[in-house]
Amino acid sequence: MNTPVNRFAWRPRDIVLASVVGVVSGGIFALWNIANVPILEPLGALLPGFQALGHGVWLLGGLLTALIVRRPGAALYGEVLAATVSALIGTQWGVMTLVYGVVQGLGAEIVFALLAYRVWNAAAAIAAGAVSAAAMATLDLTLYYAGAGTGFFTIYAISSVVSGALLAGLGSVGIRQGLVRAGALRA
């Protein structure tokens, strides 16, 4: 007699995949921690608030993990693991990196939960990226830019959400599709 498969239960394969994606994403985060300063800080100096246009890179860990594993908690697990790896490698934000991992992972997780963990398409990824970025921007604006004006807040928040939707949302969809085409996600 076949027992029904629980689509919410994590299999050992899911744990391994999520862990690999989280660790690799943490390495990408560590590289982006270095690269974003010379790339985005001049943009922020020239056009204040627009430096958030590249922040979607820091959301890839959660979104990509969720799109690959497709289980409850995958976005949170992937983002927190990526943040942990980034923090262990060394980051200018120290232990706050872990707080960001939780906040960003929960942002994406909320969207997938609202979709009952049944929808894993580009629209869901874009929405998850946008919400995750909004959570990240809220934390950024509260902790680092509390004294900034309304114009900066607005530009920063919009830039962050656009970055989350495009870089993290669509970027994760593209990366997943590439992995599927390469046969890397076959059972």
Encoded tokens for 56: 């979607």
Q: Tell me, yes or no, whether 186 lies in a domain.
A: no
Model pLDDT, residue 138 = 96
DSSP string of 35-48, one letter each residue? HHHHHHHHHHHHST
Model pLDDT, residue 93 = 81
Instruction: Give the structural domain span for 53.
Output: 12-181
Number of structural domains found in the chain: 1
Residue 187 has pLDDT above 80, yes or no: no
DSSP state for residue 121 in the 8-state scheme: S
Q: Tell me, yes or no, whether 4 lies in a domain.
A: no
- Render pLDDT for 7-40 as a digit per residue (tens, 0 to 9): 788 888 989 999 999 999 999 988 888 887 777 7
Q: End-to-end alpha-carbon separation of the chain, Å?
A: 23
Residue 45 has pLDDT above 80, yes or no: no
Encoded tokens for 109: 């997780």
Output the pTM of the full model: 0.89
DSSP state for residue 11 in the 8-state scheme: P
